[in-house]
């Protein structure tokens, strides 16, 4: 079960599709195996970059169950955000019975006030049950819900089953520092894993993050970066990050970021196709050439990209 001591890299997994939109089960298996080989501590499925809203309820449960059964020692977190608590409860129950380590909940965009935000998560925690550990997703850039450190402290304090914060605010480094200061003042500790495509992971680790929960197309690099930072090898960690930063930046583009990620994962042989289920953006021929160029430049600094050099 997921707990407050979780650390390392929890890869946000895309959902592999065939070009005709069918779920690609063979690629799911290969993807899970690749993440295990990369040294990931866990996998998060059915997140925003997993195209969860495009899945039928049975498909979502089947995909999560397949990943759980394949994951071995890796912990699996499942995104269960939904418009209503009935759907959230049903998916949470199904994946926890299948062996998930916990679930992740994002706030609906309709929340406006601090009290509304706190009340929503208390109701969500009640809906999934106190025995289910859950991750609080803080992603205001996409979700439009701003949670101050004080609001997050209230949510953590009032909900013992909240064991992790997925931190994706931007700018957000000071938020991490504020939360760690709250712990020194008596707030219950939670694990903090960060997202945003790893765009700020180098400094997030130094501010007190326990690792990353994101899906950058080189998860093995994320594992190395987290380990180097944890070992206090600051310059080595930043050198590695700097080599990947141009591709991280390119992948972080709103609207086409998932297309970039899937394209590189396909080129690495981790998934068979870069297809997205409709509606979904596709890379233009010019964009593919730019990604190929970035991979060729990355190959000068990281052997992982050498076989992909155009």
The stretch 46-63 carries a mean pLDDT of: 94
**Is the model's pLDDT at 310 over the cut of 60?**
no
With vertex at residue 60, the alpha carbon angle to CA 269 and CA 191, rounded to the nearest 5 degrees, is 80
pLDDT at 19: 96
**Is the model's pLDDT at 127 over the cut of 90?**
yes
Residue 224 tokens read as 């190395």
pLDDT at 48: 85
How many distinct helices (H) and strands (E) make up the chain? 12, 8
> Do 8 and 41 meet the contact criterion of CB atoms below 8 Å apart?
yes
* Average pLDDT value over all residues in the chain: 96
- Roughly what angle, to the nearest 10 degrees, separates helices 257-267 and 285-298? 60
User: What is the rounded end-to-end Cα distance, in angstroms, of the chain?
Assistant: 43
CA 135 – CA 102 distance, rounded (Å): 7
Q: What is the DSSP-derived secondary structure letter of residue 23?
A: B
Residue 96 tokens read as 């926890």
The stretch 149-167 carries a mean pLDDT of: 98
- Banded model confidence at residue 281, pLDDT cuts 50, 70, 90: confident
For the chain, what percent of residues have pLDDT higher than 90?
95
Q: What is the DSSP-derived secondary structure letter of residue 308?
A: G
pTM value is 0.96
pLDDT digits (tens, 9 = 90+) for 101-116: 999 999 999 999 999 9
> Do 61 and 95 meet the contact criterion of CB atoms below 8 Å apart?
yes
pLDDT at 209: 98
> Do 100 and 78 meet the contact criterion of CB atoms below 8 Å apart?
yes
pLDDT digits (tens, 9 = 90+) for 232-261: 999 999 999 999 999 999 999 988 999 999
CA 6 – CA 164 distance, rounded (Å): 8
**Is the model's pLDDT at 272 over the cut of 60?**
yes
- Smallest CA-to-CA distance from 93 within 127, 42, 68 is with 127
Q: What does R_g of the chain's alpha carbons equal in angstroms?
A: 18
**Is the model's pLDDT at 74 over the cut of 70?**
yes
CA 274 – CA 276 distance, rounded (Å): 7
The stretch 149-155 carries a mean pLDDT of: 98
pLDDT digits (tens, 9 = 90+) for 196-238: 999 999 999 999 999 999 999 999 999 999 999 999 999 999 9
pLDDT at 309: 73
**Is the model's pLDDT at 289 over the cut of 80?**
yes
- For 107, phi then psi, to 5°, come to -75, 145
Write down the H helix ranges in the chain. Answer: 25-38, 57-70, 85-98, 114-128, 140-143, 149-158, 173-184, 201-207, 219-230, 234-251, 257-267, 285-298
- Banded model confidence at residue 3, pLDDT cuts 50, 70, 90: very high
């Amino acid at each position: 079960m997921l707990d407050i001591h979780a650390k390392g890299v929890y890869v946000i997994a895309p959902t592999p599709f065939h070009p005709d939109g069918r779920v690609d089960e063979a690629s799911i298996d290969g993807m899970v195996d690749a993440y295990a080989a990369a040294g990931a501590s866990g996998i998060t499925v059915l997140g925003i970059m997993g195209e969860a809203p495009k899945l039928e309820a049975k498909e979502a449960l089947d995909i999560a169950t397949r990943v759980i059964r394949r994951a071995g020692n890796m912990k699996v977190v499942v995104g269960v955000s939904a418009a209503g608590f009935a759907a959230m409860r049903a998916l949470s129950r199904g994946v926890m019975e299948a062996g998930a380590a916990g679930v992740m909940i994002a706030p609906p965009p309709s929340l406006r006030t601090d009290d509304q935000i706190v009340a929503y998560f208390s109701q969500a925690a009640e809906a999934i049950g106190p025995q289910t550990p859950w991750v609080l997703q803080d992603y205001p850039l996409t979700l439009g819900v701003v949670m101050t450190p004080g609001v997050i402290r209230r949510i953590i304090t009032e909900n013992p089953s909240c064991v992790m914060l997925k931190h994706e605010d931007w700018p957000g480094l000071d938020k991490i520092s504020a939360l760690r200061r709250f712990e020194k003042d008596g707030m219950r500790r939670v694990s903090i894993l960060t997202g945003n495509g790893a765009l700020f992971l180098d400094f997030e680790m130094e501010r007190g993050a326990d690792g990353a929960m994101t899906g950058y197309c080189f998860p093995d690099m994320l594992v190395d970066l987290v380990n180097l930072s944890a070992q206090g090898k600051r310059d080595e960690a930043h050198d590695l990050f700097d080599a990947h930063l141009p591709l991280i930046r390119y992948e972080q583009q709103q609207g086409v970021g998932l297309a970039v990620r899937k394209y590189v994962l396909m080129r690495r042989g981790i998934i068979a196709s870069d297809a997205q289920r409709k509606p979904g953006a596709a890379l233009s021929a010019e964009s593919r050439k730019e990604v190929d160029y970035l991979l060729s430049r990355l190959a000068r600094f990281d052997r992982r990209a050498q076989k992909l050099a155009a």
